[in-house]
Chain A
Amino acid sequence: MPILEVNDLQAGYGPITALHGVSFDVEEGELVAIIGANGAGKTTLLMAISGIVPALSGAVLYRRRSITGLAAHVIMRQGIGHCPEGRRIFSRLTVQENLELGGFTQRDRWQLRRDIAEACELFPVLGTRMTQVAGTLSGGEQQMLAVARALVGRPKVLLLDEPSLGLAPLVVRQMFDVVGSLTARGITIVLVEQNARAALALAARAWVLEAGRVTLAGTGKELAADPRVRAAYLGE
């Protein structure tokens, strides 16, 4: 039984429809990837799942129950975390305050402290920067903070939007190592990436999004071997 199911979802901003009926699903504990070019609708897809962008039609099911049309904070509280494109950390707050906001819904202060400590284990550099204002972190550290903030919210499903964007190659590898390790913690991952090679290597299954439609789907290995994917996304 999929933990998250997206059925024929259409969504967009105002008069512009960016998604023209997208379907995919994720099993509990699975890591799936959505790959595609810039402007293919990947970010809109995640935003529509989280309730930031309203769905025009279609449905999003979480544990078989529809969450379509719910407010974003309600969807988050049900267990769907979202680390948005462009990090969107609270740049004028400290690292500590950012992480505390990640656990905004956690009422138990001790549990929150443990969750923050756990997130800092994944990204040890954050632990040394707790009192620093987040906007002064390096790009890589900001991205780590964004992922850590989402993790402090204890998501069951984590939507990760371009966690490797704009990072130095070494940091990219570190980031993908962490992302790959999250499923072992029981977190289901929907990974949106332009870095198709790394994403397909991690993903059990993947979907290719083009102009708001799914054009290819398969296991990560199948897609990585597909000549069309190789030509368009792997630069071969």
Chain B
Amino acid sequence: MSALFFLQQCLIGLTNGALVALMALGYTMVYGIIRLINFAHGDLIMLGACLALTLVGAFGLEAAGTATAGVATWLGIALLVGLCGLFCGLVNVAVDRLVYRPLRDAPKLAPLVSAIGVSFIFMNIGLFWLGPADRSFPQLLPTANLLPGEGLQFGWKDLLVLVVVVPLMAALMVLVKSTRLGKAMRAVSQDETAAALVGVDVDRVIAATFFLGGFLGGAASVIYGLYINTIGFQMGFQNGLYAFTAAVLGGIGSIPGAVIGGLVIGLVRALSTAYVGERWAGAMVFAILIVILVFRPEGLLGRRTKEKV
């Protein structure tokens, strides 16, 4: 029984962690390319969740019913993911163009503080959009257990997280590894000047990176709404903090690192909630972060040393 309980917690942790990882990618990609910690990313995800909620109402997805996850519901969710991804991607590109690009050659602190400013602006837009109280996000998927037997619970919502997160991450890895854009991104991340000298349009590559990070954040916002079922204008802060922690834990700048960091955080949070108590979950996550960073300051998959010059 206790083994089953443990397994159940791991399942919960991994599903939650996949969601954290999706959010962490936005931090790690932007950091990887311009060494900026984009503090507004969590609040961008919150804006995505606002749009998702508005769209659920506009499409009448709730009326489609939750007893059966019909084709219409799944198509609706796919559309939500696409639209919110597009929205967050474009907002992210706009912020880069208007706020971060003019500060590209400024000292590092200037864009960092601006990112915090953007975060507050987003939060206020969210406050205007959602109102001050938390809003419940409709349950679009049935609650039935997909696994046989009584022991392990794995519902449609959990499945949803996996069917969205896994393909998106796989696509991202392929994009970075083998497309022209991915090569340009890796070049810019290592040496902007050298990249420009081989003909890479650096500003465009940075914009594309903001778009991709934002798109993944937008997708994450839809999953978050459907999975957690509560959204609010302040959700960006805490979720952003966990996601950012995941990115640092995995080694900020590293895409596989963000994924692993997200999964680790999901697991730690679920296991400490189950075995230590929910109020300690956050403390446990950050305690582990501190311990790991003491022994591996570059994160789990980060690069240990500067390359030879």
**Stretch of A97-105, A205-213, A228-236 on the interface side:** A97-105
A101 B308 Cβ-Cβ under 8 A: no
Q: Is B196 at the interface (CB under 8 A from chain A)?
A: yes
Can you list the 8 inter-chain pairs with the closest CB atoms, starting with the nearest? Answer: A72-B196, A88-B194, A91-B307, A105-B199, A135-B307, A76-B199, A82-B197, A73-B201
Cβ of B256 to closest chain A Cβ, rounded Å: 14
B200 A73 Cβ-Cβ under 8 A: yes
Within 8 A of B (CB), among A48-103: 50-52, 71-73, 76-77, 81-82, 84, 86, 88-93, 97, 100-102
- For the complex, give the distance between the alpha carbons of A48 and B303 in Å: 33
Q: Is B163 at the interface (CB under 8 A from chain A)?
A: no
Cβ of B49 to closest chain A Cβ, rounded Å: 36
A-to-B contact residues, CB < 8 Å: 50-52, 71-73, 76-77, 81-82, 84, 86, 88-93, 97, 100-102, 104-105, 135, 149-150, 153
Q: Is B216 at the interface (CB under 8 A from chain A)?
A: no
Given A52-B196, A135-B307, A71:B201 Cβ within 8 A: yes
Given A73-B201, A104-B183: 17 more A-B contacts, CB < 8 Å: A50-B196, A52-B193, A71-B201, A73-B202, A76-B197, A76-B198, A82-B197, A88-B193, A91-B308, A92-B186, A92-B190, A92-B307, A100-B183, A101-B187, A104-B198, A135-B307, A153-B199
- For the complex, give the distance between the alpha carbons of A210 and B190 in Å: 32
Q: Is B291 at the interface (CB under 8 A from chain A)?
A: no
Q: Is B150 at the interface (CB under 8 A from chain A)?
A: no
A73 B191 Cβ-Cβ under 8 A: no
Given A86-B309, A100-B183, A101-B183, A93:B198 Cβ within 8 A: no
CB neighbours (8 Å) of A135 from chain B are 307-308
Given A97-B183, A104-B183, A84:B194 Cβ within 8 A: yes
Given A52-B193, A84-B194, A135-B307, A90:B200 Cβ within 8 A: no
Q: Is B265 at the interface (CB under 8 A from chain A)?
A: no
Cβ of A194 to closest chain B Cβ, rounded Å: 18
CB neighbours (8 Å) of A100 from chain B are 183
Q: Is B260 at the interface (CB under 8 A from chain A)?
A: no
Q: Is B270 at the interface (CB under 8 A from chain A)?
A: no
Given A91-B308, A100-B183, A101-B183, A73:B190 Cβ within 8 A: no
- Closest chain A residue to B308, Cβ basis: A135
B-to-A contact residues, CB < 8 Å: 180, 183-184, 186-187, 190-191, 193-202, 303, 307-309
B190 A50 Cβ-Cβ under 8 A: no
- For the complex, give the distance between the alpha carbons of A149 and B191 in Å: 14
Cβ of A15 to closest chain B Cβ, rounded Å: 13
A84 B193 Cβ-Cβ under 8 A: yes
- For the complex, give the distance between the alpha carbons of A88 and B194 in Å: 6
A72 B186 Cβ-Cβ under 8 A: no
CB neighbours (8 Å) of A91 from chain B are 190, 307-308
Cβ of A152 to closest chain B Cβ, rounded Å: 8
CB neighbours (8 Å) of B190 from chain A are 90-93
- For the complex, give the distance between the alpha carbons of A105 and B194 in Å: 14
B187 A73 Cβ-Cβ under 8 A: no
A89 B200 Cβ-Cβ under 8 A: no
- For the complex, give the distance between the alpha carbons of A51 and B194 in Å: 12
CB neighbours (8 Å) of B197 from chain A are 50, 52, 72, 76, 81-82, 84, 88, 150
CB neighbours (8 Å) of B191 from chain A are 88, 90
Cβ of B193 to closest chain A Cβ, rounded Å: 6
CB neighbours (8 Å) of B186 from chain A are 90, 92-93, 97
B308 A76 Cβ-Cβ under 8 A: no
Q: Report which of B193, B199, B308, B309 forms a contact with A104, defined as CB distance below 8 A.
A: B199
User: Can you report 26 A-B residue pairs in the complex whose CB atoms are below 8 A from each other?
Assistant: A52-B196, A71-B201, A76-B198, A76-B199, A77-B199, A88-B197, A90-B186, A90-B190, A91-B190, A92-B186, A92-B190, A93-B187, A93-B190, A97-B186, A100-B183, A101-B184, A101-B200, A104-B183, A104-B184, A104-B187, A104-B198, A104-B199, A105-B199, A135-B308, A150-B198, A153-B198
